[in-house]
Amino acid sequence: MPRWWKQTVNLFWELVLKDFRVRYRNMSLGMFWSLLNPLVMMVLLTFVFTRIFRSEVPHFPLFVLCGIVPFNFFSLSWLTGTAALVDNARLIKRVAIPRMLVPFSTVVGNALHTLIQLGLLLAFTVGFGYTPNVHWWWLPVIWLLTILFVCGLSLATSALNVLIRDMRYLVESTNLVLFWLVPIFYPFSAIPPDLRDVYQFNPVAALVLAMRQILMENTSPAASLLWKLTLVSLVSVAVGGLLFRRLERRFYEYL
Amino acid sequence: MSISSSQGIALPLIEFENVTKSFPLHSGQNLLRQTVQAFLRNPRGERFIALNDVSFRLTKGEGLAVVGRNGAGKSTLLTLVAGLSHPDSGRVTVRGRVGALLELGTGLHPDLTGRENLYLNAALLGFTRAETIAVEDRIVEFAELGHFIDEPLRTYSQGMTMRLAFSIAVHAQPEILIIDEVLAVGDARFQKKCQQKIMEMRNAGCTFLFVSHLGGQVQHFCQRALWLDGGKVRLDGDCETVLATYEEFLRGA
């Protein structure tokens, strides 16, 4: 392996580790806190949609958790990814590092953090009587594609955030909209048929659907969903990368 | 990046050819409203010219002191050498590994232990993992931190933090070392040790770029000096002459 590659990999992991260590070091209960949020959301949504609005969906707590975990990953990693360059301004102005690593490592750090929540989700799945099966091998595939998508998206928004600091508020609002537009607490079948194709182009929605197919229906995700997810992820990385390269030369002046 | 051509003719390690660098004049805050306002008011974007048509070259093993008053363009020059920003026009060529001591301690995190910071900082300076492991003990020993190396950085005194940062930086074995008035590290004894280390690196053929408002310590390490004034090269020559003229200018001003 060439030296620059080893340097880059080393720096990348050190940045990911830093985020991870800093996040948990000052919490007495450490990882427990990252489980609390999805659990509270699960209980709340289950209460509202089984006691107040009567949902027909079986195993509602598991169903809703399949939506919360991917959505939490997406919203948090996109938001922190967007703020990554501005938050690390001192670093970027003082050390000559490949700057793409900064949003990348933030997103991947969040993905590691999500592994804990994913563990919780799998435990619930087994608790509800489902058994691990061969379709579970699709889980890493769809998650990697989604991580790639968020990386591309964060490249674009983090670079824009350097030039226009309002970007993060736009991201926050978009996350709020997505909470409703991703089928978290309603099933895909409740979406009007003419909108379903559009929904599948949203990688977060696609991830939620695929999670439910794998964990609750014991099937592989549909081929059409997979290629749409792949396409959107690749386009997002390509566009994000190009935009980042274009704006990168101006970072020093604007940070 | 190769350091010299195969014919044995040493190419300069740092080469500035008619370099001009300007910064946009803006309020510092980049909210959407201000961006739009600035564009409407000033569509061509007035800019502050930090470096104006600067040319110089530095060959292997040379030590160059960059002097000048505040705002003369010294820091801008350093950021260009370090590859942190890009010139508007002209060309900057840097051949070799740059180690920049622009601000000692950048990237250190108070909640991480000294050793964790060591690994992170080494990675930021371009170490591979294997290289870090290889010099880890020497860095800790040079920084004289003892068992504190496994304590969180927030328990360190200012001097201990700086010692760690300096120690990591000089062990990165840069071919070009940029030093921005940071030699005031730790107590007098440690400062002396740092100066010795720099001398050692200089004798081993490391190229130096020193930045200072005042002469003083730079004379030990540099044969040449470059005096910047208002973004332009006022004088480029041997260290003693340039510093004498510069100091005379300062007294007169």
Q: What is the pLDDT of residue B70?
A: 82
Does residue A252 surpass a pLDDT of 70? yes
Confidence band, pLDDT 50/70/90 cuts, at residue B6:
very low
Q: How close B240 comes to chain A (CA, Å)?
A: 30
Average pLDDT over residues A58-83: 94
Average pLDDT over residues A132-153: 94
Residues 6+ apart with CB under 8 A from A35: A116, A117, A120
Q: What is the pLDDT of residue B3?
A: 45
Q: What is the pLDDT of residue A11?
A: 94
Q: Which two tokens stand for residue B46?
A: 């007035």
* A13, A96, A165: residue with CB nearest B31: A165
Q: What is the pLDDT of residue B184?
A: 61
Whether B113 contacts B152, CB under 8 Å: yes
Alpha-carbon distance of B230 to A87, in angstroms, equals 32
Residue located via tokens 């801008």: B76
Query: Chain A contact for B123, CB < 8 A?
Result: yes
Helices A167-181 and A138-163 pack at an angle, to 10 degrees, of: 150
Question: Nearest-CA neighbor of A96 among B54, B101, B51, B213?
Answer: B101
For the whole prediction, is pTM greater than 0.95? no
A2 → chain B, closest CA residue: B128
A67 three-state secondary structure: helix
- Using an 8 Å CB-CB cutoff, list chain B residues near A165: 29-32
Percent of chain B with pLDDT over 90: 24
Question: Testing the interface with A: which of B101, B118, B129, B211 to mutate, by most A Cβ within 10 A?
Answer: B129
Alpha-carbon distance of B128 to B119, in angstroms, equals 10
* A25, A95, A249: residue with CB nearest B124: A95
Helices A60-87 and A32-47 pack at an angle, to 10 degrees, of: 130
* A3, A95, A163: residue with CB nearest B30: A163
* Amino acid identity for residue B168 in this structure: I
Least confident of A2-11, A12-21, B175-184, B196-205: B175-184
Confidence band, pLDDT 50/70/90 cuts, at residue B69:
confident
Residue located via tokens 């990882």: A31
Q: What is the pLDDT of residue A119?
A: 92
Does residue B215 surpass a pLDDT of 80? no
Rounded to the nearest integer, the mean pLDDT of chain B is: 82
- Using an 8 Å CB-CB cutoff, list chain B residues near A21: 111-112, 116
Does residue B232 surpass a pLDDT of 50? yes
Confidence band, pLDDT 50/70/90 cuts, at residue A101:
very high
Average pLDDT over residues A106-134: 92
- Using an 8 Å CB-CB cutoff, list chain A residues near B98: 96
* Amino acid identity for residue B62 in this structure: E
Average pLDDT over residues B228-248: 89
* A13, A90, A164: residue with CB nearest B32: A164
**Burial group, residue B237, by CB count within 10 angstroms (0-12, 13-18, 19+):** middle
Confidence band, pLDDT 50/70/90 cuts, at residue A156:
very high
Confidence band, pLDDT 50/70/90 cuts, at residue B148:
very high
Query: Chain A contact for B112, CB < 8 A?
Result: yes
A163 → chain B, closest CA residue: B30
Does residue B28 surpass a pLDDT of 60? no
Q: What is the pLDDT of residue A73?
A: 95
- Using an 8 Å CB-CB cutoff, list chain A residues near B126: 7, 11
Q: Do A10 and B86 count as a contact with CB atoms less than 8 A apart?
A: no
Q: How close B63 comes to chain A (CA, Å)?
A: 22
* A3, A17, A94: residue with CB nearest B103: A94
A22 → chain B, closest CA residue: B111
Percent of chain A with pLDDT over 90: 61
B152 three-state secondary structure: strand
Q: What is the pLDDT of residue B27?
A: 52
Q: What is the pLDDT of residue B4?
A: 43
Average pLDDT over residues A18-22: 86
Q: What is the pLDDT of residue B97?
A: 80
Question: Testing the interface with B: which of A5, A9, A18 to mutate, by most B Cβ within 10 A?
Answer: A18
Alpha-carbon distance of B164 to B144, in angstroms, equals 8
Q: Do A164 and B30 count as a contact with CB atoms less than 8 A apart?
A: yes
Q: Do B85 and A252 count as a contact with CB atoms less than 8 A apart?
A: yes
**Burial group, residue A150, by CB count within 10 angstroms (0-12, 13-18, 19+):** buried
- Using an 8 Å CB-CB cutoff, list chain B residues near A26: 111
A184-240 tens-digit pLDDT:
999 888 889 888 888 878 889 999 999 999 999 989 998 888 999 999 999 999 999
Kindly report the CA angle at B132 between B126 and B136, in degrees rounded to 5?
Answer: 135
Confidence band, pLDDT 50/70/90 cuts, at residue B185:
low
Q: How close B102 comes to chain A (CA, Å)?
A: 6
Does residue B29 surpass a pLDDT of 80? no
Question: Nearest-CA neighbor of B14 among B73, B50, B52, B56?
Answer: B56
Query: Chain A contact for B120, CB < 8 A?
Result: yes
Does residue B73 surpass a pLDDT of 80? yes
Query: Chain A contact for B39, CB < 8 A?
Result: no
Q: Do B125 and A95 count as a contact with CB atoms less than 8 A apart?
A: yes
Whether A20 contacts A109, CB under 8 Å: yes
Alpha-carbon distance of A36 to A112, in angstroms, equals 17
- Using an 8 Å CB-CB cutoff, list chain A residues near B82: 96
